[in-house]
Amino acid sequence: MQNCYLNAMQQNIDGESLKLANKGRPLAGIALSFLVATLIILSPEAQAKKVDGWLNWRGPLQTGVSLEKNLPDSLEPEGDSHLWSYPVKGGGAPVFADGRAYIFGYHEENDGKLVEETLLCLDADTGEKIWEYRSRDFLSDNIYNRYGIGSPCVDPETGNVYFMPTSGLAIAFDRDGNKLWEHSMLEEYWRLTFPNGRTGGPVVDGEYVIFRGITANWGTTGPPGDRFYGFDKITGELAWYSSPDIRPVDSSNSSPVFSDLDGRRVFVAGTGSGSIICSNARTGEPVWRATISQGGVNASILYYEDDKIIAIHGKENIDTTSKGRLVCYRIPTEYPSGDKPILLGEKDEVWRNDEHVSFSSSPVLHEDRVYSTIATGELLCVDAKTGGTLWSLKLAPDQLHASPLFADGKLYVPMHDGKAFVVKPHDDRGEILNEADMEVVCLAAPSAYDGKVYIQTKEALHCFGSEKGKFVGVKQPNVRIKDKTIADLQVLPAEFALKRGHSTEFTVWGLNSVGQRIKKLDNASWDSGSLQASFNGSTMTANGDAAYAAGMIKVTAGGVTKSVRGRIVPGANYTEDFSGFELTQKNHLGESVTFPPSPWLGARVKWSVIEREGEKVVTNVLDSVIKQRTMNFVGHQDLSDYTFSADVLTDGNRRIMSSIGLVNQRYLIALVGNWRILEVSSNHDRLKESVRFNVLPNTWYRLKTKIKDNGDGTGVVQAKAWIRDQPEPDAWTIEVPVDKLHPKGAPAIYALSPQAQKRVYIDNLKITPNN
């Protein structure tokens, strides 16, 4: 742990991502402050400081309800209750702890050509900036500046802050902005991105912080699935992953909501398959599932009483052609035994209300009343016992994303058209107390903290209320361990990727029958299985000449055995010509093929090794239009300063060809056949440069890529392409300057075959270090 915090301090000295507000201080003062800060950071007491506040976007009750009083009746910008504004674009609710506000937003510079997402820390009372971390998008499908649609969260035990930008980086910070750990969900687990940009946010419960996303990893998690990943919130090691859903047809950013079930800790969430799922929050084990929609369920779920949940969606129903429904289900009150998840259906419905069409706005629950905004711009009040609509209030032409907040007997309701309302709910009507024009789109739910209400718009964060408020929360439960008998093991990390000659250290926890950690187990025995590696205690080291492979290792402790997934992956010295592969299978066309290298992420169903004109090469699988585009990582996520090259070819004719490329350090360099160009991109709306290149079909080219780091945060993406049988040209075919370079990133191969018509082929992959 101390090394982790020391690394964080070093990052703040050397890096430029963290921007502290207290500039211009004397050098001696800075040195003294650094020494004191280092001592504080290394103090166990400082590491474990408990905090209270609006720690996640749904508040302390997980229902969008605040317990505070004396909150403002008006949300007028520049009005009497308006305390301050801070210019930051965003679409997610801010969270609060220990007098600080944490905001997920973004900044535009250079007429919108430069966009950076931010985790921004402000003084909650004054709006003054304390620190900021900025992150640039890469390799995502995000469009139209759909950034900052999500929220960070705060751990009540430590005050640490967790955050995931659009690119899929799962990052932990301490309260002062020191980065504690980071995972690239894209490059480690193949987390997919989507044009809608909806990121959602992590949630903390107990020892774990949970990130979610649709991933297409490898092995049993190779097929696309809406999955949840539980990381140890302190160390950042993956503790468990959960695949509770059927195949997704959509994305979802529904936040997990926690409860207790028969001594276990569980969470419920909507998913991309149109389901509501329940999983064990300590182990990831799926518990139950109910499918309610033909598309993704994005709104957060409400627990109601002790045996019910209430959910809402805006897609087509599974039993009618109509869209949208608010529905209440009766759920298990005992943890199921036997095969799981158990399936809930129509027999478990308590009531349904088909007046609701809500794509991503989440309902709130207060005293047997459910309040929700729907797609046509109404605020509805529903009896939680019967499902009957009690009243409807038209507020705007439409609604998207933003959820209401219930606080101080009032509803605070931002709308998509930029209006924000304060509504007093009655039994038979909603009374508008204030209608304010924020003059810009509102996508975020309001937050309440210390006598103030905070509204995030697409241009700024606004604070309304009193300077003398006080936060009212709920007492954190004191979790007791009754059973100390070890019934299961938890091995951290639960999944790993190792380069040849590199090591990873495992931690083994003994769990009781309800998934609680009992103690660490030191005297475990290990079996590396098919992976070529050795163990020294709990440290595994991949052999220097280990075969690149994916498989399972086994650990036994206390009479219990557990398996852990892992890969031995290429580093910066890698060649692959596929000559050693035996073509033992048949594809959908009857051709002899076999699977690509097993440690390639998500590649097993997307690529095949095949023989073409006497050469064994790899080709993209085109048995479905959904496979027309693919990008698959072939090496370690921490690689930097390397050259990546390969032989590439596209089938086709002068009318239609495919695109084929390589990813080097988070930059995609592709020969785009139909456009006859060589193109460099990352996210297409953020970086896309090209030069003319006469791509010919059925012609082998050598594609060579390199990222030049200038040492000052800038760099150059360099690439050249030439007909394989000709000499390599001296000059780069394209060079693209980058003002803020991605410092590292996994190598990947890429193919786009429009309408799944023309194959691409790759051979003779080679990764070499630049120095």
Copy the structure tokens of residue 421: 């309302």
Distance of CA 687 to the CA centre of its chain: 22
Contact 82, 76 (CB under 8 A): yes
Copy the structure tokens of residue 724: 């394989």
| Beta bridge pairs of residue 720 | 704
Residues 6 or more apart whose Cβ sits within 8 Å of residue 482: none
DSSP-derived pairing of the beta strands 560-569 and 495-499: parallel
In this prediction, residue 79 has a pLDDT band, given cuts at 50, 70 and 90, of very high
The string of pLDDT tens digits covering residues 402-432 is 999 999 999 999 999 999 999 999 999 999 9
The domain limits of the chain are: 495-569, 574-769
Look at residue 48 in the predicted model and tell me its pLDDT: 55
**What is the C-alpha to C-alpha distance for residues 446 and 456, in angstroms, rounded to an integer?**
7
Q: What number is the average pLDDT over the span 652-657?
A: 95
The string of pLDDT tens digits covering residues 430-469 is 999 999 999 999 999 999 999 999 999 999 999 999 888 8
Instruction: Please determine, for residue 15, whether its predicted confidence score (pLDDT) is greater than 70.
Output: no
Contact 544, 507 (CB under 8 A): no
Look at residue 651 in the predicted model and tell me its pLDDT: 98
Share of the chain above pLDDT 90, in %: 87
Q: What number is the average pLDDT over the span 172-194?
A: 96
Look at residue 207 in the predicted model and tell me its pLDDT: 97
CATH of domain 495-569: 2.60.40.3460
Look at residue 487 in the predicted model and tell me its pLDDT: 96
The string of pLDDT tens digits covering residues 201-250 is 999 999 999 999 999 999 999 999 999 999 999 999 999 999 999 889 98
Contact 600, 607 (CB under 8 A): yes
Contact 744, 638 (CB under 8 A): yes
For the chain, how many residues are written?
771
Amino acid occupying residue 389: T
Q: What number is the average pLDDT over the span 625-644?
A: 96
User: Among 135-149, 257-271, 342-356, 666-680, where is mean pLDDT lowest?
Assistant: 135-149
Where is mean pLDDT largest: 146-150, 474-478, 706-710? 706-710
The string of pLDDT tens digits covering residues 22-70 is 333 333 333 333 333 333 334 443 455 899 999 999 999 999 999 999 9
The closest alpha carbon to 71, from 438, 446, 461, belongs to 446
**What is the C-alpha to C-alpha distance for residues 613 and 247, in angstroms, rounded to an integer?**
37
Contact 118, 132 (CB under 8 A): yes
The closest alpha carbon to 324, from 405, 384, 385, 378, belongs to 378
- Sheet of strand 208-215: strand arrangement: 203-205, 208-215, 225-232, 238-242
Q: What number is the average pLDDT over the span 508-515?
A: 97
Instruction: Please determine, for residue 524, whether its predicted confidence score (pLDDT) is greater than 50.
Output: yes
Copy the structure tokens of residue 403: 């959820």
Our CA dihedral for 161, 167, 170, 173, rounded to 10 degrees, sits at -30
Mean of pLDDT over the chain: 92
Instruction: Please determine, for residue 13, whether its predicted confidence score (pLDDT) is greater than 90.
Output: no
The closest alpha carbon to 196, from 150, 131, 128, belongs to 150
Look at residue 47 in the predicted model and tell me its pLDDT: 52
Contact 628, 753 (CB under 8 A): yes
Q: Is the peptide bond before 341 cis (omega within 30 degrees of 0)?
A: yes
Domain 574-769: state its class: mainly beta
Q: How far is CA 368 from CA 175, 326, 600, 620, 762, in A?
A: 37, 15, 51, 54, 61
Contact 178, 9 (CB under 8 A): yes
Copy the structure tokens of residue 58: 């749904």
Look at residue 23 in the predicted model and tell me its pLDDT: 33
Which H or E run contains 337? none
Copy the structure tokens of residue 472: 């009212």
Q: What global pTM score does this model have?
A: 0.92
32: phi then psi, degrees, rounded to nearest 5? -65, -40
Look at residue 479 in the predicted model and tell me its pLDDT: 84
| DSSP secondary structure letter of residue 202 | -
Instruction: Please determine, for residue 645, whether its predicted confidence score (pLDDT) is greater than 90.
Output: yes
